[in-house]
Amino acid sequence: MKHLNAIIFAVAIVLAAYFLGNAYVQRSSPARVISVTGLGNENFTSDLIVWDGRFVAFNTVLKTAFEQLNRDKEIVKDYLESKGIKEENIIFNSVQTIEQRDNKYENGNFVGTIFRGYELSQSVQIESNDVALIEKVSREITELLNKGVQFNSSPPRYYYTKLSDLKIKMISKATEDARIRAEKIAENSGGALGDLISARMGVFQITGQNSDEDYSWGGAYNTSAKKKTASITMRLEYKAK
């Protein structure tokens, strides 16, 4: 009986060692995972333009400077409308007033300031879907100088109103690109692609077409180019069979 118990005990130890060893091997050999990054990009042309300008009046009398600025405002408004820009697309912002003074020195020492006059300025913004028209007017705006208006123009900024739809399309392209890469990796390693474990979207970038702009960790967003390229990455992880 003692011999039988010893045999049973020995078999139990062997079986326990086998199962424990097998469990350790399984834990030390994690499931094979294929990680890939896919790219989706799309070229597009902006369909919204925003253009800013600023005009200035100067006089030693504040009321006179304000009256001059109002005359210039009407000249600017009439000019823009004569070029085909609709009134609802023209936004005049509030008037800014700066009192101009010159520093005064005596024997190299600062002794105060001398009043020069008042500089009044007002900015105007044009926002339109007629990109070609606003581009043309922005190039011809120096004609206002012939009308006595000191007008300073900023470069137009370009935007795209269907960006959400474009982004969805690009995510789909990036995901498909990543899946094809994963299938190729699995095929080349003699296996097959299993279930998708995770999918993470990368940074969304918009740069000018054919430009040498640098990508940013926070995402580049170009507004200076009318024709742009948008790109996005998708990182997928699959089980490997």
Residues 6+ apart with CB under 8 A from 177: 38, 39, 40, 234
Match domain 49-156 to its CATH number in 3.60.40.10, 2.60.40.1120, 2.60.40.3140, 3.30.70.2970. Answer: 3.30.70.2970
pLDDT at site 110: 83
DSSP result, 137-170: HHHHGGGGGGGT--EEEPPPEEE-TTHHHHHHHH
Which of 139, 237, 109, 112 is closest to 179 using CA atoms? Answer: 237
Computed over every residue of the chain, the mean pLDDT equals: 87
pLDDT tens, 176-231?
999 999 999 988 888 888 899 999 999 899 999 988 877 777 788 999 999 999 99
Match domain 31-45+162-240 to its CATH number in 3.30.2420.10, 3.40.50.150, 3.30.110.170, 3.90.245.10. Answer: 3.30.110.170
**Alpha helix (H) residue ranges in the chain:** 2-28, 62-82, 131-140, 163-188
Average pLDDT estimate for 164-171: 93
pLDDT at site 92: 97
Residues 6+ apart with CB under 8 A from 104: 110, 111, 112, 113, 114
Residue 59: CB atoms within 10 A of its CB come to 16
CA distance from start to end of the chain: 50
Average pLDDT estimate for 228-240: 93
Angstrom distances, CA of residue 227 to CA of 44, 47, 136, 141: 6, 10, 16, 23
* pTM for this prediction: 0.78
Burial of 226 (0-12, 13-18, 19+ CB in 10 A): middle
pLDDT at site 1: 53
Domain coordinates in residue numbering, the chain: 1-30, 31-45+162-240, 49-156
Q: What is the CA radius of gyration of the chain?
A: 35
